[in-house]
Amino acid sequence: EIMHFVSNDTLVAKDSVCPEKSPYLVGALAGMFENVTKEKLIEEFPYLKTCGRLRPSECAPRQKIAFIFPYRNRSRHLHITLYNLIPILKRQLADVTFFVVEQAPPSTFNKGALLNAAFLEAEKLGHFDCYVFHDVDLIPLNDKNLYKCESNPRHYAVAIDKYDFELYYQSHFGGVVGFSKENYLKVNGNSNLYLGWGGEDDDFRARLVSKGYNILRYPLEIARYNMIKHTRDNGNEVNPLRRVILKSSNKRQDIEGLNTVKYKVLNITCEPLYTWITVSINNTE
Ligand code: UD2
Ligand code: MN
């Protein structure tokens, strides 16, 4: 790529394809942990297009990325995380649409089913090359952790303060993960069988591995996050069956997942910061 200086603050040739490596990256970041209102975010980031789309103005992006936040009753975390993420994605010259996918009460939180619903609904609203599933409470601490998809899936949240900035366990694949649309279709998405806390992330990883994918990770200094302190939510109690269900992961994967998820869309709203999708999930079906 030819990159030349157009002006003092534009390091990218206008109208060309965005460079593989953005010249705006700065590396390690301190993170911002103060409460921030939705109104303040809208004021701070006027360049977010309607429905939570962020696009580089100076070049043509290589991929269209959907950011999915599985959500219930965590508005404080969501907005602090967005405050940190948006400037990073802007510096990365990423084309991103934010989706908040809220599971309506009272059913037990089912992150796997919620993510399947999010994927199907996002695909109806716009075709995406790349998906990032992002916990609402993880604050990125390095902008070189590039949000983009390759042929193999990537684990982003490798080094988290809660786990002393070390890989939690060798097969950990939680918190923030990214993969292409093709990857997700090939593995039949997430399992819908994990009610409450735990196991669904390990199941997703097992599905990817069984289809021959290798999980990518940047080094610990780069793939760094801070988790906002929290207790376990009501309606997301630890699932005592999680390890038993996980044992049959590979046997089930083609017959249970994205192709069997049952949900109802209750509402879709287009806001400046995000596309908000409320769904009900009937866990007993
Ligand atoms: C870990 C994983 C997470 C998930 C979970 C097990 C890491 C870094 N994270 O997170 O990806 O697999 O274990 O289920 O390994 N949420 C709500 N409202 C709720 C419940 C959950 O919004 O009532 C969402 C929210 O995006 C949250 C995420 O689900 O960040 C995971 O829940 P958590 O943060 O309570 O669980 P945690 O930190 O143990
Ligand atoms: Mn958490």
Check residue 3 and give its pLDDT: 40
pLDDT digits (tens, 9 = 90+) for 85-99: 999 999 999 999 999
Give SS3 for 277.
strand
What does pTM read for this prediction?
Answer: 0.95
> Residue 176 — φ and ψ, nearest 5°?
-140, 120
Q: How far is the CA of 21 from the centre of ligand 1 (A)?
A: 31
In sequence order, the 6+-apart residues with CB closer than 8 A to the CB of 200 are 111, 112, 190, 191, 194
Check residue 9 and give its pLDDT: 53
The residues facing 277 across adjacent strands are: 101, 268
Ligand lying closest to the C-alpha of residue 229 = 2
Ligand 1 site residues (CB inside 6 A) read 69-74, 109, 111, 135-137, 157, 160, 174-175, 197-198, 200-201, 232-233, 235-236
> What tokens were used for 49?
């297009």
Task: Establish whether 276 is a catalytic residue.
Answer: no
Residues of the chain with pLDDT under 70: 1-10, 285
pLDDT digits (tens, 9 = 90+) for 117-129: 999 999 999 999 9
Confirm whether the ipTM is greater than 0.90: yes
Q: 15: burial class by Cβ within 10 Å (0-12, 13-18, 19+)?
A: exposed
Q: How far is the CA of 31 from the centre of ligand 1 (A)?
A: 20
